Amino acid sequence: MLTGLGVATRQVRQPGDLVGLDAVVIPGGESSTMSLLAERSGLLDSLADRLGAGLPAFGTCAGAILLGREILDGRPDQRCLGVIDIAVRRNAYGRQVDSFEEPLTVVGLDSPLVGAFIRAPVIESVGPTVEVLSEIDAIDGARQPVLCRERTITVCTFHPELGDDTRLHEMFIESI
Ligand code: GLN
């Protein structure tokens, strides 16, 4: 997605890969495994330092879990970075087969964006300084945030890299 928008990208696997970056994307995947591997390589601590110093980040799905303040239903040894004031419950919609797509109204976009929720987490609470940019109707009628931003950190619980709608990536690039 980013390459298509003319942005130079590189994969970040080790602490040294962070040197010189203007921003970082933490993608979907399996947050407990990502936490374990990033902790082992020292990447988690280096990333925490850079994010604390203002490195902008876009966390999608598992990436949102990693960037949040609190993980609900996490593995006991799973860590999070605490750079956006949200509490996130893993796998809150159920199993892989309960994945779904939903048209989303997004603050700043003039037409809906289709979100692909794949074994997605739910953002259960947001702090007072977190902007909610999109939300969906929960089964109990409550509204559930699915796209949030606080200072330099943006997170969403769906996969904006699927399909060919680049608008969220453009928003992120503009925010950098
Ligand atoms: N269920 C995954 C987790 O807990 C997130 C799934 C995803 O990133 N699509 O980390």
Q: Would you place residue 13 in the very low, low, confident or very high pLDDT band (cuts 50, 70, 90)?
A: very high
Q: Would you place residue 141 in the very low, low, confident or very high pLDDT band (cuts 50, 70, 90)?
A: confident
Would you state the pLDDT for residue 51? Answer: 97
Residues with CB under 6 A from ligand 1: 28-31, 61-62, 65, 90-91, 118-119
Sign of the CA dihedral with 168 first, then 169, 173, and 176 last: positive
In ligand 1, which atom is closest to the CA atom of 29? 8
Q: Among 58, 119, 124, 157, which is best to mutate for testing ligand 1, by the most ligand atoms less than 8 A from CB? A: 119
- 161 annotated active-site: yes
| Mean pLDDT, rounded, of the chain | 96
pLDDT exceeds cutoff 80 at 139: no
| Nearest one of 137, 94, 144, 102 to 119, comparing CA atoms | 94
pLDDT digits (tens, 9 = 90+) for 15-70: 999 999 999 999 999 999 999 999 999 999 999 999 999 999 999 999 999 999 99
pTM of the predicted model as reported, rounded to 2 decimal places: 0.96
| Residue of 124, 161, 169, 174 marked catalytic | 161
DSSP 126: E
Sign of the CA dihedral with 81 first, then 83, 86, and 90 last: negative
CATH topology of domain 24-175: Rossmann fold (3.40.50)
Instruction: List the beta bridge partners of residue 47.
Output: none
DSSP 2: T
Three-state secondary structure string covering 107-156:
CCCCCCEEEEECCCCEEEEECCCCEEEEEEECCCCCEEEEEEEECCEEEE
The pLDDT of 148-162, averaged and rounded, is 97
Would you state the pLDDT for residue 97? Answer: 82
Q: Tally DSSP H helices, then E strands, for the chain.
A: 4, 10
Domain limits of the chain?
Answer: 24-175
Pairing relationship of beta strands 131-137 and 122-126 according to DSSP bridges: unpaired
Instruction: List the beta bridge partners of residue 115.
Output: 102
pLDDT digits (tens, 9 = 90+) for 58-70: 999 999 999 999 9
Q: Would you place residue 94 in the very low, low, confident or very high pLDDT band (cuts 50, 70, 90)?
A: confident
Residue 90 · residue 73 · CB < 8 Å:
yes
pLDDT exceeds cutoff 90 at 120: yes
The pLDDT of 65-78, averaged and rounded, is 97
In ligand 1, which atom is closest to the CA atom of 61? 8
- 169 annotated active-site: no
